[in-house]
Structure 1
C-alpha cells in the first residue's frame, strides 16, 4: 500500500533544516539511499555536512536568480520555496529500499517533466520504508514556479500508484470512492471534531458562549497551554488532538476563534450601518459608538474591534469592504434619514438580541447537531 503526502515549505531556513533531517545517515544507510535530479554536483565523495551544504547551495542559487528577475511582492504560490513530499510503503509490499528510492525518483521526475531540481532520501529506520522528497519550487532556469494545486496532488498519486504497481506494490483500488471517503470521515476523530467546531462557531453568540456550548457537545477544549487541545468525551479517543493537527493553514487556537466572532460582529455592524449612512466619513464616526474603528488605507481598509485588528481581505474573501467598494456604494446611494447615535445603538442591540434568540441553547445543541449530521 502506497500513501503520499504533500507539505509546502515556506521558509528557506526551514528548508535547510529539512534537508539536514532527510539526509540523516542513520536513516539513509550512510547516504547510500539518497538520489537527486538537476543538481550541480561539485563533490566526488561528499560527507554528510558537505552534501547538505551542496543541496542547499543549489536551491539558494535558484532562489537568488528568480528573486532578481521577479522583483515584486510575493503572493500565494510565490511564497512557497519548496515542496516536501512523503511517499510511504507498507512492509507487505516486499520492495527493497533501493527500489523504493527509484520509485520516488521516477515519480517526481515524471510529475515535473524533468524541469525542477529535487532530492529523494529513503528512510529505513521504521517498519514502513518511506521516501522524503524535497522538490524545489523554482525550475532549473530560475524562471517559473511549480504550481501545487488539486491537479498536482491528483497527478502525484496517479503517477506514484502506477510506478509502484509496476514494481509490485499493493495499490488502494478506488482511492477516490465517495463511499470509502464517507465511511472514513465518519470514523475519523479529527473530522468529527472539526464538524463540531464549525457547528459551534455558527451557533454561538460569542467566544464565551462557544466554550460553554462545547461542553454540551462533549467537546473538551483546553486553551491553557501553548497548543490548544481537543478531546471528545463521548468517543473512544485515546489521546487529545492538537490545534495544528486539525488544519494545516490555520491552527485552531484561541486567537482563531476570537477572530471568527469578531469578524461576524464587524460584518453585522457594517450591514446595519451602511444603509443608514450618507458617506464614508459618517460611517467611520458612527461606527466608533459601536466600538468599531474603521481605518481606510490607500486601497484597503483595516477594522479594529475588541482590540483585534482585521483587514477587509480577512473579513470576506471578495473585495467587499475595500476603499473602492465604499466609494462606489456611497456614490450610488440615495439620501437616507439617520437616527441619532443613541437610537442607532439601541436599535442594533434590539435586533442582535432577536437574532441571538434564534440560536440553540446549551441544552439543545447536541440534538440539533445530531439532526444536522443525519442530513
Structure 2
C-alpha cells in the first residue's frame, strides 16, 4: 500500500471515529435520568445516582461499530494494494482480506470489547467522584445532575456542557477552571481550552472592573467543557484509527501469507512519520527504518510492532500519527 494511500485512509477514518465517539457520549447524556439522579443524591445515595446516569456499554455501540468498519477498511485496502497474481493454470488470483477469519474475528472482538469497557469504567469512576463531591459540597442535587450530563440545547436538542465523556483528569481541569473564574480570573487566561471570545471580559474583571456574572461564567464553563470533550474525542479517534488500520494491515498480510499468496521473508515494513514538529522524538528516530515482516521496531520508548500497537506502552502509541509502508519482493527466493 502506498504511503499516501495509507495517509488518506487515516484521514478518512479519523473524523468518523471522532464523530462516533461524540455520538456515543450524547447517547449516554440523553439517556440519563436527571430527576432520578437528583432524587438519589438528595437521599445521599451516590451508587443509586450512578445507576440513574446509565453508562451501559451498549450506548457505545455506534463507536464500536465504526472501529470495526475502520479495521475492515484497513484490511481490504492492504489486500487491494497487493498485485494480481496468476496460478499454475494461468487463472488470475487476487487475495481478499476476510474480517471473518478466526484470528481477525477474535482480535477484533477482544480488543473492541476491552476498549469499550475501559471507556465505560473510566466514565463510571469519573461520574462517581463528581456526584460524591457535589453531594459533599452541598450543591443542589439537580444542579449536580445537570452539571454532570449537561443541559439541553433548545436548538440542537442535545445535552451540552456536561462532563460525561471527559477523563477524570479533564474533569479536574474543569474544576480548576471554575475555581479560577471565581477567585483568580487572570489565571484562567492561560487555559489552552478556554474560549478566547470571553478574554476581554475576563481581563476587565481581573483588572478590577466589572466582575464576571454567574450567567457569563456558566457560558464560559460550558464552552470549556465542550472543548475538552472535543480534545478527548480527537485523542481517542487518532489513537484508535491508527490501531485499527495498522492491526488490520498486519492481519491482512498474515492472511496472505497463510493462503500462500505471499512469503513472510519477502515482506519489508518501513516506518514513516508525519514529518512535522508534533512527531515524538522516539518516532522521529524510527522514520525510514525497515524490518522484515514479523520484526519489531526498537524505539526510545520501547519495542513497537507498528504505529498504534496495542502491546506497546501508552507513551509509545497514544496520539501517534505515523504509518507503515509495506513492500514486497516478489522475486525473493528465485535464483
TM-score (norm 2): 0.27
Between structures 1 and 2, the one with greater strand share: 1
Between structures 1 and 2, the one with greater helix share: 2
Higher Rg of the two aligned structures: 1
